[in-house]
Amino acid sequence: MFKKPTSLPDLLTNIYFLTIVGLLSLLSACGGGGGGGTTPPPPEPPPAPTTPTPTTPTALSNPIETAIEVGSITLAANQFVRAPESSDTVSDPITNDAYARIQYIHPAPDDTGRLFIQDVRGIVYVTDLEARAPTLYVDLRTEEVAFYPDRFPNESGFLGFTFHPQFAEEDSPGYGKFYTGFSARADSGEADFIEDGSSVQESVIYEWTATDSSADVFEGSRREMLRVGQFASNHNIATLAFNPNAEEDSPEFGMLYVAIGDGGSAHDPGNHGQNKQTPLGALLRIDPLGGTEGETKYGIPSDNPFVDDEEAIPELWAYGLRHPQHFSWDSDGRMFLLDIGQDEIEEVNIGVAGGNFGWRIREGTFATGHGVTTSDALGSVYERPEDTIDVIYPVAQYDHDEGFAIGSGYVYRGSKIPELVGKYVFTEMVRGRIFYIDTDNLIPGEPTTIYEIALNVDGTGSSLVEVAGFSDTYLAHSPHLRRVDARLSVDNAGELYLLTKGDGWIRTLAPLTE
């Protein structure tokens, strides 16, 4: 077949012939072709790598199954003094009709027995232990401070008030000074933090200096000290307080603690809670008298936990909080820090310097939708996965089967109610329930038992919501159509007062006499 090629067709024929011969030789060497053998099957492909199927977490329909029971303590809530009726400057379907938005009472740090009443609508009244008729001390609405509660009167406004511990000490640096935290118009100043997000309102702290600390009407000066932009109208600045246990020669003395919510909306859309570079969703600690004239408006305490952390603002004391409206100290030095939950869990925490309290990936001892992999809509809670960061969990918690927003609380150290001494007393503000826990051996992450205090209100035998309730405009609270907005305060002797916005009354708590 092979012949010398004399043309292109001859060359192609030779190439074809040699190719066929080569293939037949290869098959013969491998036992194929005409050798009588069989062609082996091709090898099986290796198995495809397998990955474990991720476990989809299940939303908890009843996160805390144990119901809160009424404990052994029954108290009388008796009318003490009524705040003057106040009003909002706007009216819309979400704004409720509180008689007076009384938030707390604050005892003057002197021996006058005066009690200052804080109304969120911008007013401070003064009364005393004898329940004299409240009179006006200062009105933010008429001061030139751009007070602005109108975006959301239920939650915006005048939310923080405290006296400097040297308020009544003449010739001291803190003489006559007190501090207010409130909502201000966004265009009324330049924010120290989050100026770009301040299109709604701003949370502002002012320092006021009274020329006479004993006067019952404020006269003096004021200065702006801190301003934080807010992208929404809720979860604003909240409690301002000095540690009452601090000795005058200690580094803790005169340091101002500031609670600020996560900025509002729902589910912390900006993830401020887990961001150490923002004051939102945090507890701050500053030295109000430590600023440098013309340069800084306050000082940074040198023992703040993040003062040397380049990834945190130096004012930061604790973070991972959603809506920490209230905190207080026991006489043993522990801070009790409350955090209002989103849709499920209300928290009682022990404050820890440098602590991360988990929000927005944790709510109570549970994980949120941000803390697990799920396609569920945000709002539910789940069994939490193993922590990859350090989180401080509550020492007590309740879910929304028992009530809604947690209010304010104190460890009782008064003398009128012996069976309550050493117990932490706090409110569920919406339905007006009063709870307590034992404070011995509290362990974060191992919530202790909560008990309810039975109340006899004004000698009627009726519940607080029946006596002091008003319209509840929050649809999430259905079917509870009336709310109380109950909060607690204490005087200099440690005795408890119950404040209700629905009727504007301040009531004393005392043993129920037979």
Gap between the Cα atoms of 506 and 418, Å rounded: 22
| DSSP H or E stretch at residue 8 | helix 8-29
What are the φ/ψ torsions at residue 166 (nearest 5 degrees)? -100, 15
Rg (CA), the chain: 33
Residue 43 has a pLDDT of: 59
Whether 18 has a pLDDT exceeding 90, the answer reads no
DSSP character at residue 418 = G
The token duo for 136 is 């006006």
pLDDT band, residue 2 (cuts 50/70/90): very low
pLDDT band, residue 155 (cuts 50/70/90): very high
Buried b (16+ CB within 10 A) or exposed e, 327-347: bbbbeeebbbbbbbbbbbbbb
Whether 25 has a pLDDT exceeding 80, the answer reads no
pLDDT band, residue 476 (cuts 50/70/90): confident
Gap between the Cα atoms of 441 and 423, Å rounded: 12
Would you call 231 helix, strand, or coil by DSSP?
A: coil
Would you call 467 helix, strand, or coil by DSSP?
A: helix
Contact 213, 176 (CB under 8 A): yes
Q: Who's near 326: CB < 8 A, 6+ residues apart?
A: 238, 239, 259, 338, 407, 408, 409, 487
Gap between the Cα atoms of 248 and 246, Å rounded: 6
Residue 479 has a pLDDT of: 79
The token duo for 278 is 């923002």
Range of the domain at 174: 83-431
Residue 199 to residues 160, 187, 259, Cα–Cα distance (Å): 22, 8, 21
Gap between the Cα atoms of 484 and 479, Å rounded: 15
Gap between the Cα atoms of 120 and 157, Å rounded: 5
pLDDT of 215-274, one tens digit each? 999 999 999 999 999 999 999 999 999 999 999 999 999 999 999 999 999 999 999 999
pLDDT band, residue 196 (cuts 50/70/90): confident
**Mean residue pLDDT across the chain:** 91
pLDDT band, residue 46 (cuts 50/70/90): low
Contact 487, 429 (CB under 8 A): yes
Residue 481 has a pLDDT of: 83
The upper half-sphere exposure of residue 501, i.e. CA atoms within 13 Å in the direction of its Cβ, equals 29
Question: Is 513 part of any domain?
Answer: no
Gap between the Cα atoms of 261 and 398, Å rounded: 20
Residue 245 has a pLDDT of: 98
Contact 125, 137 (CB under 8 A): yes
DSSP bridge pairs for 78: 508
| DSSP H or E stretch at residue 241 | strand 237-242
Question: Is 200 part of any domain?
Answer: yes
| DSSP H or E stretch at residue 27 | helix 8-29
Q: Smallest Cα–Cα separation from 184: which of 154, 163, 205?
A: 205
pLDDT band, residue 198 (cuts 50/70/90): low
Gap between the Cα atoms of 501 and 482, Å rounded: 12
Gap between the Cα atoms of 55 and 62, Å rounded: 20
Percent of the chain with pLDDT over 70: 89
Chain centroid to Cα 138, Å, comes to 28
The upper half-sphere exposure of residue 27, i.e. CA atoms within 13 Å in the direction of its Cβ, equals 14
Whether 15 has a pLDDT exceeding 70, the answer reads no
Question: Is 356 part of any domain?
Answer: yes
Gap between the Cα atoms of 135 and 127, Å rounded: 7
Residue 135 to residues 89, 132, 158, 204, Cα–Cα distance (Å): 21, 9, 18, 25
What CATH number has the domain bearing residue 268?
A: 2.120.10.30
Question: What DSSP string runs through 371-414?
Answer: GS---SPBTBEE-----SS--PPPSEEEETTT-S-EEEEEE---
Chain centroid to Cα 514, Å, comes to 40
Cα dihedral value 496, 70, 321, 56, nearest 10: 180
The total domain count for the chain is 1
DSSP character at residue 13 = H
Question: Is 244 part of any domain?
Answer: yes
Q: Strand 327-329's sheet: what is its strand order?
A: 327-329, 335-339, 345-350, 396-399
The upper half-sphere exposure of residue 292, i.e. CA atoms within 13 Å in the direction of its Cβ, equals 3
> Is residue 101 reached through a cis peptide bond, with omega within 30 degrees of 0 on the bond before it?
no
Question: Is 14 part of any domain?
Answer: no
Whether 514 has a pLDDT exceeding 80, the answer reads no
pLDDT of 406-450, one tens digit each? 999 999 999 999 999 999 999 999 999 999 999 999 999 999 999
Residue 93 has a pLDDT of: 81
**What average pLDDT does the segment 341-351 reach?**
98
Question: Is 325 part of any domain?
Answer: yes
Residue 20 has a pLDDT of: 41
Question: Is 148 part of any domain?
Answer: yes
Question: Is 25 part of any domain?
Answer: no
Contact 237, 182 (CB under 8 A): yes
Cα dihedral value 177, 183, 189, 191, nearest 10: 90
Residue 9 has a pLDDT of: 46
Residue with tokens 């009531």: 507
pLDDT band, residue 48 (cuts 50/70/90): low
Residue 44 has a pLDDT of: 64
